[in-house]
A and B are shown apart, each in its own frame.
Chain A
Amino acid sequence: MRATESFLQWLDFDIDGALASVDETAVKKALSKDVLSPFDFLALVSEAAEPFLEVMARKAMELTAQHFGRAVLLFAPLYLADYCQNQCLYCGFSARNRFPRHKLSRDEIEANGEALYQQGFRHILLLTGDSPVQTPVDYLEEAIEILSRRFESIAVEVYPLEQHDYQRLRLKGLDGLTIYQETYDRAVYDEVHPSGPKKDYLYRLQTPERGALAGLRWITLGALYGLANPIHDAFWTAMHLVSLKKFYPFVEWGVSLPRMNPAEGIFSPRYQLSDKRFVQFLLAFRIFFPTVGITLSTRERPEMRDILIPLGITKMSAGSHTEVGGYASEEKTVPQFEIADNRSVEEVVAVIRSKGFDPVFKDWVGVV
């Protein structure tokens, strides 16, 4: 686990100490460079960079067009199951929340897949809670096998798997992985994950690397903003990516910046990532990583999503459901989190076009 080891040193780095020396000059210097240092990233996410948002936005726009062109890939999340043995304090699927749990049958997977295919999607992200008993690797393998007939690219956002399991799923058509560390702050991580396998911080931290070693093509990571100090999480996310990119340059790395959202259960986020800071962070990631994909989730409200399209976003979901199934059933189940953008796929497509961008539904040729 060379990348993870190389990252671990950053967990002891004095971020606040370094931040104390960031001033306007440091921000200007960071913005004048082509290849930025970790300190430059810190300058861009610091308060000192707030007056430079417009300059950052222009630079981000230019870099995005240069590396990704005027195109945004659309994908659909499909929740396969909501069984979960973890008790994450902030999540609607937590084992503490009592509600009838569901798992899609073969036929339901097929029906949901068909509904999404008809909407135009060719890239799909499969999600489950953390329940190796209810949704073992065999179940995931079966789901991927069913869906690989229709979809060019299949990614998972499920509990962390072993490298050999990712390899096994890859043979059935899996090519992408999304895994959030939630927070890189070890103390907070321990606190918000009171029990269950997710308590193992290091095992989760190594997950993107296991995916890379298994040969997955697209790997997206990130923190869930609101749990710990947002600047700390942004910085650690960036350093995690730096380490992974160094050892696995052939993977198309991606990052996402989900913010806490009211979920089932009672949890008030300790930190708030304001709209302004959220945009600043996103721009900082784009400027620091000109070639890394940035995924924007349906958690963000429409006005925010629309503004961000040209600034660095390369992938977004549309017409999403965060309850199990949801595309092929009228039955209402509990969502993992509240969606803020409830617009249809057609509406999102129209907005992307109106911004002078091409909504892309297919950007790979499936192996299976």
Chain B
Amino acid sequence: MDTPLVIGGKSFSCRLFVGTGKLPSSHIIPEIVKASKTEMITVALRRVNLSRPEDNILGYIPSDVVLLPNTSGARNAEEAIRIARLAREAGCGNFIKIEIIHEMDYLMPDNEETIKATFVLSREGFVVLPYVMPDLVVAQKLVDAGAAAVMPLGSPIGSHRGLRTKDLIAMLIEKIDIPIVVDAGIGKPSHAAEAMEMGADAVLVNTAIATSSDPVATARAFSLAVEAGRIAYLCQKQQESIYAQASSPLSGLLS
């Protein structure tokens, strides 16, 4: 029996988070939510257009879904902090995904600036989900800075290359107590299942759903894969605990 994932006091029974940045139209968001049962959607604040209701992406996100605005476009901590504050003022709530990028080809996150922004924003009451290159020391610093979860990348954004950083992510799963949400590079449902099987708490998928020929069906496929991966992980854990209980089969013989 699984327990729900809790981030920032909110409970999530679906462990797939969905991005919206590359969708052909905001109109299909409700269908994606329905098909995937996702409970968290990320939106780039740079795209939120409150002055034109017909273009306002927020209008298409069901009210029971947690909104995760992101700081896409920020090149340093200062810009990320500014965007996060604007997101809150715009009514996007307290959740914020920090995305600080200083290199436009591979869109690698700037871990150092991300730690700085996490420190400031968590003290301002934000529920901070930082997007980082998986690095155990950085993740420990993020925990100290007040992060609510850590979002390590599997491979570069939009690359569909899967879990190229698998061993590094495994260290975070092993050592870090706050939720680990694998973000970026997940190009196929099997990648998502793989992340969940190894013990990630959730995954975030954007490009693979948004640019598919059928985003709604693809969202469902990812959701099923995430669920399957989660069940597999739980079974594996259960198995390990059974073996652990019978871990001294030789004790009677050798004592």
Contact = CB atoms under 8 A, between A and B. Distances in A.
Interface in B183-236: 207, 210-211
A252 B22 contact: no
A358 B105 contact: no
Interface string B167-183: 00000000000000000
A66 B75 contact: no
B16 interface: no
A120 B55 contact: yes
A136 interface: no
B37 interface: no
B23 interface: yes
A68 B210 CA distance: 11
Contact of A365 (B26, B86, B104): B86
Interface residues on chain A, size class: 20 to 34
Interface stretch (B43-51, B121-129, B132-140): B43-51
Contact of B158 (A66, A71, A251, A362): A66
A79 to B, nearest CB: 24
B23 A66 contact: no
Contact of B104 (A65, A251, A362): A251
Contacts of B23: 69-71, 358
Contacts of B75: 217, 250
* A interface secondary structure, majority: loop
B176 to A, nearest CB: 29
B158 A250 contact: no
Interface string B50-62: 0110010000000
B93 interface: no
B90 to A, nearest CB: 9
A69 B46 contact: no
Contacts of A361: 49, 52, 55
A363 B211 contact: no
B42 to A, nearest CB: 13
Nearest to A359: B55
Contact of A362 (B26, B55, B211): B55
B47 A357 contact: no
Given A66-B211, A69-B211, A362-B46, A249 B25 contact: no
Contacts of B160: 66
A358 B73 contact: no
A67 interface: yes
Interface in A342-363: 353, 356-358, 360-363
Contacts of B158: 66-67
Contacts of A367: 82
A120 B52 contact: yes
B105 A249 contact: yes
Contacts of A198: none
B104 A249 contact: yes
Interface string A63-82: 00111111100000000000
A66 B47 contact: no
A250 B76 CA distance: 10
Interface in A188-232: 217
Contact of B47 (A68, A217, A360): A360
Contacts of A290: 105
A86 B75 CA distance: 37
B134 to A, nearest CB: 21
Contacts of B210: 69-70
B156 to A, nearest CB: 10
A361 B49 CA distance: 8
A253 B24 CA distance: 23
B104 A68 contact: no
Contact of A353 (B25, B51, B207): B25
Contact of B24 (A120, A122, A291, A357): A357
A250 B108 CA distance: 11
Given A71-B23, A252-B104, A365-B82, 8 more contacts: A65-B211, A67-B158, A70-B211, A358-B26, A361-B49, A362-B46, A365-B73, A367-B82
